[in-house]
Structures are given as C-alpha cells and as structure tokens.
Amino acid sequence: MLKRKFILLTIMNRTYIVITVVLTIMAIALTITTVSSTTIVSHPLIKYYGVKGQVYSLNWAGYAVPAHEYTVTSVAGSFIVPSLTCTKQTTYVALWAGIDGYNDSTVEQAGVLGECSGGKPTYSAWYEFYPSPAVFISGFTVKPGDKIYVNVTYIGNGEFQIVIKDVTENEAYTVTGSVSNALLSSAECILERPTVNGQLTTLANFGTAYFGQDYTNVMGTCYATVSGSTKAFGAFPSVVEIIMTAYNGKILAEPSSLTSDGTSFTVTYVGGK
C-alpha cells in the first residue's frame, strides 16, 4: 500500500512524498489513521434546506441546539464507535460533539474518525479548532464498541478546553486552544462525512450509530449549557434534527427521534453517495 502511494505521489510532488511516507509510518506505529489524517477536516454545517425543527445537510446528521450569539458555553456528548463495513472504496465517517458550526464559520469539536481504505477500517481520535485542521491524538487508540465522551467548554478570552475520553478503556485527553471570532451560537452531537482536500468524502457504511446517555450510560450527554442553563438537547425549544443527503437529495444518513428524556438518538446509514 505504501509503495503504490509513493509511486502515485512521486508524479505529483516529490517533496510531499517524503512527508507522506514518514507520517504514514508513524500513523501505523500508533494505530491511528493513515496518511489522509493530515488533510481531513470537519466543516461547519452545509445546509441547503430547512423547516422548523428539521434541516437537510450535505455533511451532517444528528442534532444541534442553535442559540443566540455568545450564549453557548459548553456541550457534553457521547457515542459508541460503530463498526464499519468496508469495500475497496475509500470512505469516511466522523462522530463528534462540539460548539458552533451550525450557523457560523468556526467549530470547536472532538470525536472519532472511521476510515475505510483498501477494504480495511481504521479508527482515530481527534480534536479540531476549525478553521484550523483536525489534530489526530497520538497514542489514543479507539475500536468499535468503545464508548466515547466529549466535553467542549468555553473558558473565556477566545479559548476553549476540550476533553475526550474513551470510557471503555479509561483513557482521556485534554487540550486547550483558541479560536478567533467564535460566536458561541450552537451545540451539536453529530455524525459527519468529513472533507478531504477540499472535497466531501463518500460516507462509510457505519450501520447504526448510537449517541447520548441512554445508549452509552455516560450521564449528562447530549447536554448543552446555554445562557447558564444546562439541559438535555431535547429540552431546548430550538433543537434541530439534521438529515444528511447527497447533492441530488438522496438521504445518506438519518437520525431517529430523540428519546423521551431528550438526550439520545441513533443515526442510520442509508447510502454512500
């Protein structure tokens, strides 16, 4: 696999090859994602149609809590890492929780990326202070079935603290970063097809993904703090269901209704293109 990538990229750019090979070797050693991890970013919502309580998007599926600017100060989310069904096609899926991105141009988030490449799945933990690219967490390994907790908190002066924890393995990582012009205007628990080299990817077949405390037993997820009030997503009147579709309108991934306590939902894979 490395040899094939080397030959292809030699034609395109010799300087980039050396970096790519080194990063790929490092990634394999750490059992995180392969070379594509250096170019993957999770973007703000690409919305093309919406009605009250429901939005259609080209890249997101799940739930968001839109709010007035500068009122969202924390989000806590949880999900179970899904098992991917891979073919020879390269496909991706990202699951995450975060602040912003629904109706503004920044996102402060963390989660897990699943990638199918060469018929095999790999899984990686990452965080992102978008528009900066995603940062993959060295040595933080995840596998299907692991329960993941994410907390993103605004700590003031444009800075955010992100905590991501593999509850199953009792492994945690904390990082602080700054984002210019973050509007603090939404909270999300999302499944996404990420962007690679500026292009939306093909969605990986993840089967069914499970979000929130009713499925993970991680209490207080999916919850948001808005104007000082911390509540389950479903307790906010502004909560929005997001359905992922292709450019032609075909549904790619569809969330269930929220559970009765407003914390939890599933997302079902429908199609890849």
Strands 240-245 and 54-57, by their bridges, are parallel
pLDDT number for residue 43? 83
> Domain of 243: which CATH number?
2.60.120.700
The tens digit of pLDDT for each residue in 226-236 reads 999 999 999 99
10 and 82 share one domain: no
14 and 48 share one domain: no
Question: What are the CA-CA distances from residue 26 to residues 33, 34, 77, 128 (Å)?
Answer: 10, 9, 29, 20
The candidate with the shortest Cα–Cα distance to 193, out of 184, 204, 182, is: 204
Asked which of 62-66, 164-168, 198-202, 203-207 is least confident by mean pLDDT, the reply is 198-202
The candidate with the shortest Cα–Cα distance to 47, out of 102, 111, 121, is: 102
pLDDT number for residue 42? 74
Q: Which helix (H) or strand (E) holds 251?
A: strand 251-255
Whether the Cβ atoms of residue 100 and residue 86 lie closer than 8 Å to each other: no
Whether 2 shows a pLDDT value over 70: the answer reads no
Query: Is 35 within the bounds of a domain?
Result: no
67 and 150 share one domain: yes
127 and 247 share one domain: yes
**Max intra-chain CA distance, the chain:** 56
Whether 7 shows a pLDDT value over 50: the answer reads no
56 and 17 share one domain: no
Query: Is 113 within the bounds of a domain?
Result: yes
pLDDT number for residue 111? 97
CA–CA dist 23, 253 (Å, integer): 31
Query: Is 139 within the bounds of a domain?
Result: yes
The share of the chain scoring above pLDDT 70, in percent, equals 85
pLDDT number for residue 272? 66
257 and 199 share one domain: yes
125 and 227 share one domain: yes
25 and 57 share one domain: no
Query: Is 244 within the bounds of a domain?
Result: yes
94 and 9 share one domain: no
10 and 93 share one domain: no
Query: Is 110 within the bounds of a domain?
Result: yes
When divided into structural domains, the chain yields a total of 2
CA–CA dist 108, 198 (Å, integer): 19
The tens digit of pLDDT for each residue in 103-137 reads 999 999 999 999 999 999 999 999 999 989 899 99
Can you give the residue range of the structural domain that contains 168? 41-269
23 and 48 share one domain: no
pLDDT number for residue 22? 29
Query: Is 80 within the bounds of a domain?
Result: yes
Give the mean pLDDT of 35-63: 80
Please write down the long-range contacts of 266-269, taking CB distance under 8 Å and 24 or more positions apart: 266/208, 266/209, 266/210, 266/211, 266/215, 267/61, 267/62, 267/191, 267/206, 267/208, 267/209, 267/211, 268/207, 268/208, 268/209, 269/203, 269/205, 269/206, 269/207, 269/208
pLDDT number for residue 271? 85
Q: What is the dihedral of CA 68, 71, 76, 79, to 10 degrees?
A: 20
Whether 88 shows a pLDDT value over 80: the answer reads yes
Whether 35 shows a pLDDT value over 60: the answer reads no
CA–CA dist 175, 163 (Å, integer): 7
CA–CA dist 65, 236 (Å, integer): 7
- The DSSP code sequence of 168-223 is TTTEEEEEEEE-TT----EEEEEEE--EETTEEPPBPB--EEEESHHHH--TTTTE
Query: Is 36 within the bounds of a domain?
Result: no
Place of tokens 């500026």: 198
CB contact set of 218 (below 8 Å; sequence gap of 6+): 78, 147, 149, 167
99 and 21 share one domain: no
Q: What is the mean pLDDT of the chain?
A: 86
